[in-house]
Amino acid sequence: MAIASAFLAPAGAGFLGVSMTNDSCSLAAWGRYVSMLLDEKVNRAIKAELEAGDQEQQDKAKRAFDGAITEGNGSWNAYVDSIVSATPGKVLQMPRP
């Protein structure tokens, strides 16, 4: 699972290093994480987002990922939709005749 290495963080940093106080929220976040790992399209898109740009951009992307996966609900769905539906390189996709 290559994506897992993108989320390994020092203890106390980021989603995998945070000890959540609410067990049901923690389990829900882990459920979202596992689902992401199992969905190849989502997995690739999020990995690409987290590895894009310089260190500052990667840190910003990691904070957005951590916040969305921890919060869940609409926030996670909106995050995944925005990452998966993003057009790489801002190229307009034209329908073929």
Instruction: Supply the pLDDT for residue 28.
Output: 86
Ordered by start, the domain boundaries in the chain are 47-81
Q: How far apart are CA 56 and CA 48, in angstroms?
A: 15
Dmax (CA) of the chain? 55
Instruction: Supply the pLDDT for residue 4.
Output: 44
Please check the confidence at residue 25 and state whether its pLDDT lies above 80.
no
Please check the confidence at residue 10 and state whether its pLDDT lies above 60.
no
Who's near 68: CB < 8 A, 6+ residues apart? 75, 76, 78, 79, 80
Span 43-71, mean pLDDT?
A: 92
